[in-house]
Structure 1
């Protein structure tokens, strides 16, 4: 009698709660996953990337430092655009696994070089180190299908 009605009402109540939790989980999953990259962004990325490569190939220290800074900024902009969040690029990089970007360790190293350039005025970077850093970003862009 009354116990069956109470169990029936409780069952309906908990099923509704479970459905709400499932919807929240689905929303969070959709929100936290990287998003589609619009094709027009790829064109802009290619143009910017050619400028960065030109700077590295010039070979003077000012241009190679600028190339690393610009490549790092371009990669960070892409991370934000495809849905990674955080206070800075380091926070966004921590969310990326080797399955997502196989050369993530190289990206970290390139980002550390960028930080040295940005925070130490007399930091010296060789053209070979600059090429290695820029190549790391290039590989990641290719892995993400934007170059």
Structure 2
């Protein structure tokens, strides 16, 4: 059915369709929300990359070699050669073996001292050093059970502690950034789902059956007829009927609430370009409903309010 021309409009802003610039600016809140979630995901990924790179760098050969040359740590894991170095057993009981990873031939008590003869050699992913102890059995000892005899300096303790602290902090930060990535992915999926639901609900009135469209057009024709009459009671009736149509439109779009006001509060402006028109028209309807014939309503004002409703219905092709 051809759309009938609406009543005269006093407020040009209410009757004029939104321009493309206005549509773009009204869509900004939703777009900025998507951009914010994407920014969180991007920053989290960058953070993980930076922390991982720094952690790998501190464990890399450059830092490792620099640390060894400057501070001479006592842990044998830093060295690839230590022949002739003095060591001591750093655990309660050190196991002495006949070969790297071989049979245990004896033990040395904590603090027992010796000299490294050769090594390291790897067995079962463990490194072993051949040690000539001052007394007791000699043989191959796991490097985690012995340390260099030279005591660490204050500076070496500070640097070693700093590296340990940084390793812990980098692990913690990686977990936090991974949590941020998971959160961003969840939020993106939620935003997409909500947008899909809203777009689908907005399309429902657009793609309604032809019979429903004709029915609403006939109801709208009655509203126009009432507002064009000369009886003030008809003007009030036109506004009340238009608000009923608005309530049905909001129901079709899936908005929940006990009345039109509560449903309008749930709407985001980026999803409902004529939300201000809907609010303004609904407020006049409430004044009419509460004050009845005491509310002073001119024909021009009634036509302006009906034009506000028309703007809303045309946005969603409901009339």
2:232 matched to which residue of 1?
61
Query: 1:32–1:84: 8 Å Cα contact kept in structure 2?
Result: no
CA drift at 1:95:
2.2
Matched with 2:88 is none
Deviation (angstroms), 1:145: 1.3
Q: Which residue of 2 aligns with 1:10?
A: none
Matched positions, count: 127
Q: Report the Cα offset of residue 132 of structure 1.
A: 0.9
- Structure 1 runs, 4 residues or longer, greater than 3 Å off: 28-32
Specify every segment of 5 or more residues in structure 1 that has no aligned partner in the other structure, as ranges: 1-20
Unpaired segments of 5 or more residues in structure 2?
Answer: 1-185
The equivalent of 2:257 in structure 1 is: 86
Q: Which whole-Å CA distance do the structure 2 matches of 1:117 and 1:31 have between them?
A: 37
Give, in whole Å, the separation in 2 of the partners of 1:75 and 1:125.
Answer: 20
CA distance in 1, matches of 2:281, 2:238: 11
1:110 matched to 2:281? The reply is: yes
SS of equivalent residue, structure 2 residue 317: coil
Q: How does 1:21-60 map to 2 (within 5 A)?
A: 29=194, 33=198, 34=201, 36-37=204-205, 38-39=208-209, 40-60=211-231
C-alpha deviation, 1:78, in angstroms: 1.1
Cα offsets for 1:42-64 (capped at 9, x unmatched): 21110100000000000321000
Alpha carbons 2:223, 2:242 under 8 Å: kept: yes
Q: How far off its partner does 1:32 sit?
A: 5.6
Query: What is the deviation of 1:98?
Result: 3.2
Matched residue SS, 1:116: helix
Specify the SS of the correspondent of 1:117. Answer: helix
Provide TM-score, normalisation by structure 1. Answer: 0.75
Question: Does 2:310 correspond to 1:141?
Answer: no
Larger % of strand: which?
A: 2
TM-score by length of 2: 0.36
Contact 1:56 1:130 in 2 (8 A): yes
CA shift in 2, pair 1:89/1:46, >3 Å: same
Conserved 8 A contact 2:277-2:311:
no
Q: Considering only CA atoms, is the larger Rg found in Structure 1 or Structure 2?
A: 2
Which one has the bigger helix percentage? 1
How far apart in 2 are the matches of 1:145 and 1:100? 15
RMSD: 2.6
Check conservation: 2:277, 2:312, Cα contact below 8 A: no
CA–CA separation in structure 2 for the residues paired with 1:61 and 1:55? 9
Q: More relative contact order in 1 or in 2 (CA 8 Å, sep 6+)?
A: 1
